[in-house]
Amino acid sequence: MTLAPRLRGTRPAIVTVANFITLTPFDTQEIFLEVDASASTYWHLRYRAANTTTNKWEFVGGPPLYAVIEGVDTLNAGGAGVWSDLTGAGNTPGPDIQIPVPGFYLMRFGSLISNPGSWTTRSSTQVAPGLPGAGDPAVADSAQHGVWMTGLNADISVEREQQANITVGRVRMMIRSGADTGGALINFSRRWMEITPYRVRQS
C-alpha cells in the first residue's frame, strides 16, 4: 500500500494496523496509526530512512496504552522465587496490554503491595512480554524491582519503568515474592501498566 506524499498543512492519514503492515513508506512520511479503535487511540509516527535500526517509524506523539486492575489479589509467598501472573481462585491475572506492532517500547508499571502478616517479606513486580505461562518473564532481569516490608499491615507503593524490544502479542504484569516465613500472604492492589513506543516497525 502506498500513500501519496503529505502536502504542507494537511493532516497525516489515519492508518489501521492491517494497512500499516503493507505500506511502502518514504522518508519523512507521517501517519496516525490506529492502535485501539475502541478507545480511539492513535499514535503519530514519522518514517526516518536514516534510522540505523529496523524500527524506522519514530514516535511523534499520542497517548500510551494503559491497563489497570483496581481490586485486591493475594499471592501466597511460600513458593519464594516463583513468578506468577496471580492466576488462581479469586484472583484476576494481569493487567494485560496487547502490543499492536513490533518495536522498541517504554513500559511503566506499578502496584500497591500490602503485607497483612507480622513477618518480614520481600516482594517484586515485573512485566513480561508474551502469552501467560509458567517460567520467568522474557523481559531482561533489569525490570525486577524488590522492596522490603516489615511488620503488620505494612504497605508500600512501587512504580518502575523499563525499555524493551517487544514483538506483537500480549504483555502481562508478573509478580514474584519471597518471604522469610513460609506461607506468607501478600496483597496486591491497583496493579497498573502503560506502554509507549519509541520506534516501531511494520513487521
Rounded to an integer, what is the distance from CA 103 to the centroid of its chain? 13
Tens digit of each residue's pLDDT (9 = 90 or more) over 55-82:
999 999 999 999 999 988 877 655 556 6
- Domains in the chain, start-ordered, CATH in brackets? 13-61 (no CATH), 65-200 (2.60.120.660)
**DSSP secondary structure string for all residues of 32-63:** EEEEETTTTEEEEEEE-TT-SSS--EEEEE-P
Looking at 43-47, 132-136, 183-187, which range is the least confident one? Answer: 132-136
Mean pLDDT over 193-202 rounds to 95
Number of separate helices (H) and strands (E) present in the chain: 1, 14
Q: How far apart are CA 108 and CA 190, in angstroms?
A: 14
Mean pLDDT over 127-150 rounds to 47
170, burial (CB in 10 Å: exposed 0-12, middle 13-18, buried 19+): middle
